[in-house]
Structure 1
Amino acid sequence: MATRKPRDRPLRPWFSSGPCAKRPGWDPGDLKGAFVGRSHRHPDGRARLREVIERSAHLLGLPPGYRLAVVPGSDTGAIECAMWNLLGPRGVDVCAWENFGHTWLADVTDQLRLPDVTVHRADYGRLPDLTRVDFTHDVVFPWNGTTSGVRVPDAEWIPRDRTGLTLCDATSAVFGMDVDFGKLDAVTWSWQKALGGEGAHGMLALSPAAADRIATHRPERPLPKIFRIAREGRLLDDVFDGFFINSPSMLAVEDVLGALDWCEQAGGLPEMTARSRRNLATVAAWVADRPHVRFLATDPATVSPTSICLTFTSPTLDALPPQGRHDFVARLCAKVEAEGAGYDIAGHREAPPGIRVWGGPTVDTEDIALLLPWIDWAYAETEKEFA
């Protein structure tokens, strides 16, 4: 491992896992045509929101009959909108193996207080036993564990003839990896992840079965206004046709339209997922050559190509108490950031001590390759301090 201080820095040293790096070539001037100072309910404003819906559905290849809406509150608002509207008629199985899965579990048990809940839990770095999930129940799970770097390898574990609904938080998977939408009934994501858009806006896709559930199920619980996508036993069609429940940022809308332009021009969804795979391959080759670095994911089939989570091991580190390991990583990340070589690479505060490098499609592989020597240098310098 080379420990000499590198000379070359990433051209775009932004590796945050959310909000994520803007698309290559992004410039604030791209927003000059935004529909600002006007009502988003004007036909021209609504047309832009409708365009986001239609182009997103087309690029992702949503199955026929699926409905897509822009909703408030980023991915959090979208997945909670789905849970508050859909859950209750059946038992619920919740799969939780990292911070956000645990958050949705707390929603189901502590906020919705549903009586029949089965939990499938695993430690950071692992998946629970998915063969034990009961699909006569509704199932809540993240496709990709953003804070653990552990994803489901595919959707083969989900039956097509299920009688319950599948509610999937897919925010760090959509546009960055292959997602089988046909196995999912409520799918959520945000613009700030793989598209590098701005925060506060979410996307909610519903299968025909989920739409039927909303039309027939009236939750006894109160629904906040921003979750009200049905009325008197029917889905509100306007919400899926560019009507926003409260007031969106039209700057953010303009920004995501530019991101969709870039996605289309770059080669569409196949090129987006290919960019993520190339980023992961670059990191994987680096990890393979370093005995003190490993993926947090223990199964290679579950390693995320977007939220790439890594942990360190060495005699020096292994002798440290948990807080000492956190301090080690904090110093390492501070060294990289002070050199302008990589921002926001620290792992999530709830995850085991380590780093997290966003490898989604808005990140260039060349920048990932230039970041890695800086991590080598910072690791060596930090280990000297703790030796």
Structure 2
Amino acid sequence: MPYEARAVISRTKKAPVTIETIIVPDPGPNEAVVRVQACGVCHTDLHYREGGINDDYPFLLGHEAAGVVEAVGPGVTEVAPGDFVVLNWRAVCGVCRACRRGRPWYCFDTHNASQRMTLADGTELTPALGIGAFAERTLVAAGQCTKVDPEASPAVAGLLGCGVMAGIGAAVNTGGVTRGDSVAVFGCGGVGDAAIAGARLAGAARIIAVDVEERKLEWARDFGATHTVNSRENDPVEAIRELTGGHGADVVIDAVGRPETYEQAFYARDLAGTVVLVGVPTPGMRLDLPLPDVFGRGGALKSSWYGDCLPSRDFPMLIDLYTQGRLDLGRFVSEEIALDDVEEAFDKMHRGEVLRSVVIL
């Protein structure tokens, strides 16, 4: 019997979202229906609403979610009804060339549900990142459900579904931050602060946070930044070099995703250092770097997709760190809101007033 659910819908480009009734089909083969308990409001959802991803409207927004499996379809073995799960948008296939080479975090054929959720009139919806979790229930591929410790609060567990995992993974998985490293992070929103928290977990000796707003720099200190740079008032490249003995940082993470910040990150790293791009650029952005500088500085220029995470490995580990008191995921939650408050949450996020608003269902 299909489910009816209230959900947040983006119908047209840049228009305010609406709360509408959607139809969630019974799960088919290798699919699961999840009763959503909490979902973070992420910049990616705003990108969808603004037309920055594609124009496949209407969108069912929301993807940074945790909840309980309500039903599963034929062939599902990973999860069962009653399991507490975090939803992920990279359900690995296990058979593509990346998976066969033992690098499933690069999977080139990740799974989503085969069936489509719809509006009440039958209009098919495009779920954000294949999830669509600003809804009382959602339909996903079973591989998008990662079981975690049910003692964790849904409001914090769901954050691993996107921003927090992206930031921690950018530092630990992609950047390879290790004991004694110097790290610089451009952009101190949710992803940037998660990168700072990840660098701290990995034992970085010096963590330099860069932003244009003092409020965000204060947040960065709370997550473990040892030094801060207001790039509205200071040249961040010079400041980072000064703080690292004139060399630049071992790992520089761009959590903004703009050509200007990427260029600053490039020149703020040490020779043979690593630059990690985890901030999501918008279509049309271009980068112009002198090729001799790229050649002459060596090192690595990397992009971090979802923190290069493997959800089945990383989500339970990070939840364990949270329950042990070693990773303060609760610090990322600025406020808890209702479905009807998502549009206002977008405004707060755009103004830089919150790290994460979390929808509680």
TM range (shorter): 0.3 to 0.5
TM-score, normalised by the number of residues in structure 2: 0.35
| Greater helix content | 1
Q: Which has the higher strand share?
A: 2
TM-score of the superposed pair, with normalisation by structure 1: 0.33
Q: Name the larger-Rg structure.
A: 1
Which is bigger in relative contact order (C-alpha 8 A, separation at least 6)? 1
